[in-house]
Amino acid sequence: MTKLPLYQQTVANLYQDLQTNDQGLNATEVQSRLDKYGQNALTQQKKPSLLQRFIGQFKDLMIIVLLVAALFAGLTGEVVDAVIILLVVVLNAIFGVFQEAKAEEAIDALKEMAAPNATVRRDGQIHTVKSDELVPGDIVLLEAGDVVPADLRLVEVAGLKVEESALTGESVPVEKTNATLSGQDLGIGDRTNLAYMNSNVTYGRATGVVVATGMQTEVGRIAGMLESADETTTPLQANLVQLGKALTVLILIIAAVVFGLGLWRGTANVVDMLLTAISLAVAAIPEGLPAIVTVTLALGTQRMAKRHALVRKLPAVETLGSTDIIASDKTGTLTQNKMTVEQIYQNGKLVPAGDNPVRQDDPLARVMLLSNDTQQLTDGLAGDPTETALVQYQLDRDYPVAQTLKDYPREAEIPFDSERKLMTTVHPLADGQFMIAVKGAPDELLKRVTQVDNAGEVTAMTADQRQAILTTNHDLATKAIRVLAFAYRIVPSVPTTLSSETTEQDLIFAGLVGMIDPERPEVAQAVAEAKGAGIRPVMITGDHRDTAAAIAQRLGIITKDETAHAVLTGAELDDLDDATFQKQVDQYAVYARVAPEHKVRIVNAWQKRGKVVAMTGDGANDAPALKAADIGIGMGITGTEVAKGASDMVLADDNFATIVVAVEEGRKVFANIQKAIQYLLSANLGEVLTLFMMTMLGWQILAPVHILWINLVTDTLPAIALGVEPLEKNLMAQRPRGRQSNFFSGGVFSGILYQGLLEGLLTLGVYWVAITYPVHANADLAHADALTMAFVTLGLIQLFHAFNSKSIHGSLFTIGIWKNRFFNWAIVIAFVLLGMTILVPGLNGLFHVTALTGLQWGIVIVAAALMVVIVEIVKFCQRRVVK
């Protein structure tokens, strides 16, 4: 026989299964169960040490290629180049470790959330014990302000409300019961006879029996999901791995071909050709790329931090730029996670709360304050969020809250309970009579109403008035607005027996108040901007279907016509297998009444469709999905430490709109890295082709020292400067790149090929002109001039080409030549370093170059400038074809 879920079991059956009773366990049994089940705490995997993290940074293929290149450079005497490569690699590793030092704090944060102590009944006596000493079968006592110390099946309940938003995502505290539930496959938020570890008691009191501790609790399940979740490889990391593999194969092939051809032609001995092949291999490797990527990402994190987006893992910056889906938790992310009075129905009219005048003698305003358990503290209000919203509404309108409470003290009360759904208080009036103030569910309260207060005039309630109230209540409820009804009654004395029959009868209707957890004011615009950028917002919440749909409509995530088919509940999701859901996932934009595992399924389904998914959230229930997503985004203010610890990025202002800003920054980072890659690889290809053709033609154009110096000068500062180029126009109007794109997409690969070929041809052309039309009659001097001109041409071409690379397709003259000051200085410094080899005595001898005449400088500069002219013509033609 299948064992029933906990919420379907009676208390008697649970007592029998757990071998306990309402007097609790004895000390011997507690120790025995503690030995059997272990402490009521969350386990944690061992974290890698700092050294292990550092070593892990060197597992990247691109880094391994660079280390091999450094080894070869050192063995062939190119010590400076070897040192530079090693320095770049080590700095990259240090920065990576620093940025990811706090990447695994989620489980620690869950442990910090746990209640330090618990009140229990053991052997019939009340004790306060450490919460980690609780065992299944313990009897726990709860009251307002407590943190639930373990998963409990509630045995006795007195008006208990528990705030579970960090676990379920539902913004309103849940009214609890001790009744046995009969529903099938109820979600966490609907299991109202259970209280879960780390949730907060906001109202009432209760007694419960511990049914799960430690890793067996709902929070423990989340912790287990976090530990078992795989780290997602970001698109940037995948692209760099692909690039590293492609370059490794290409470099080995080219070096082997050049070495073989050189020996075949007999133009050099084995040692010289080996040096040439190695220098060519080093020239082909963009050794500055890891530094450029790291610096570009680091600068991106700084800019994002200034705009309230705190990045915890460097690759997350770029991942945002490729995001297709933003799956967002509702409560606290899209909404403010605080109940707010939005609509008032009074005197037969429904008006926005802000337009409703509050009079001091207004019976509705008075009942809102009197039938209320909110406590006013020095630093704000404390109590049930629904009740505090009523008081805050009055405070915001300068209503004399404190004086009213003083003038009308509470003489008696009938507390709220989930059966009659009403709360009643009794207060003395100045004339010696008493006011009975009642609030509660509209349908229940109206059963007890016989009169209506209309602007101070009390008359018998008509059938039309009653129907109007019920219609208004229904209309507000369909818009996700929570409605409370308020009524009062004046009596000569406090009823002798306080009961619903003696007190909550013949009431005078005062009005309805509609409350909602309002959406953040900036979110609707952010949703529209995300859609404009081709990004699909998806809302995920623990709230009911109608509430979720209404909020989604208000935010523009779905339209009213889409509500019927675009909203899916957790129970409906359970009925779909993974394959079916993956096929249908693009039909749904809103998920209601979901559990933590549902969120992970949603993220995984989109990822299997090839989409890059960003997941936002603030609760512990969001943590597994945050970790599973391509980029997890936690809330910095309202977010739990669990959510922050599982995130790649944290929003310091909890502003959903900041995500759109971060997406913009991410797209800019990718675009700039792509520019740097196109520049580096086309320049390196130009060097490789020059050396290759030189070997094929039997020319001695460039020595290894020339290639390595050009690499040093042009592969560093100019390439890094491209990483800080300003945002190009219309970047946010483009569709997301998606998971299948890479650094060679969008015409970059073809650009690298033709631009590299162009560089090589221009360099070889200058050498041919110089050797064919020499300035000096002496053959050695003529060869030295030709070599010098080829060397300077190749270097200058790359510096001129850096300007081309400021945009993949845009014209240099429309995006702005001088906007990037860092870039301008980088070109100046690189030009000076290149010119020093020609003009500084001693250096020219080291590089085997000679001083050039004015005509020779003119030829070199014209050839270098042709690089800009020809690329501009090609870009112009490309733009015309695209149009």
Rounded Cα distance between 470 and 450, Å, is 15
Give, in order, the Cα–Cα distances in Å from 27 to each of 21, 30, 127, 134, 204: 14, 5, 12, 12, 29
β-strands 536-540, 325-329 pairing? parallel
Closest CA to 717 of 807, 824, 585: 824
Rounded Cα distance between 141 and 125, Å, is 12
Contact yes or no for 171/182 (Cβ under 8 A)? no
Residue 329 designated active-site: yes
Rounded Cα distance between 6 and 4, Å, is 6
Long-range contacts of 175-184 (CB under 8 A, 24+ apart): 175/418, 176/204, 176/206, 176/418, 177/418, 178/11, 178/154, 178/206, 180/7, 180/8, 180/9, 180/10, 180/11, 181/7, 181/8, 182/8, 183/7
Longest CA span, the chain: 127
Q: By three-state DSSP, how is residue 116 classified?
A: coil
Per-position DSSP letters for 787-837, written without gaps between them: HHHHHHHHHHHHHHHHHHTT-SSS-HHHH-SSS-HHHHHHHHHHHHHHHHH
Other CB atoms within 10 Å distance of the CB of residue 95: 18
For the record, the structure tokens of 160 come out as 């208990």
Identity at 54, one-letter amino acid code? F
For the record, the structure tokens of 504 come out as 């909550």
Contact yes or no for 519/462 (Cβ under 8 A)? no
Give me the helices (H) in 427-544, please: 442-446, 463-477, 500-503, 523-532
Closest CA to 280 of 301, 258, 302: 258
Closest CA to 807 of 883, 879, 881: 879
Q: Provide CB contacts within 8 A for 176, sequence distance 6+.
A: 154, 157, 160, 161, 162, 192, 193, 195, 204, 206, 418
| DSSP class of 147 | B
Rounded Cα distance between 813 and 804, Å, is 10
Closest CA to 275 of 112, 434, 132, 76: 76
Rounded Cα distance between 601 and 327, Å, is 12
Other CB atoms within 10 Å distance of the CB of residue 740: 10
Q: Provide CB contacts within 8 A for 432, sequence distance 6+.
A: 492
Phi, psi of 536 (to 5 degrees): -100, 115
CA 802, 808, 814 angle in degrees (round to 5)?
80
User: Which entry of 132, 138, 190, 329 is annotated as an active-site residue?
Assistant: 329
Per-position DSSP letters for 363-405, written without gaps between them: HHHHHHHHS---EEETTEEES-HHHHHHHHHHHHTT--HHHHH
Rounded Cα distance between 846 and 220, Å, is 68
Give, in order, the Cα–Cα distances in Å from 387 to each of 206, 393, 503, 847: 20, 10, 21, 82
Identity at 457, one-letter amino acid code? E
Sign of the C-alpha dihedral, residues 466, 469, 475, 478?
negative
Q: In the chain, helix, strand, coil percent, each to 5? A: 55, 15, 30
Catalytic residues: 329
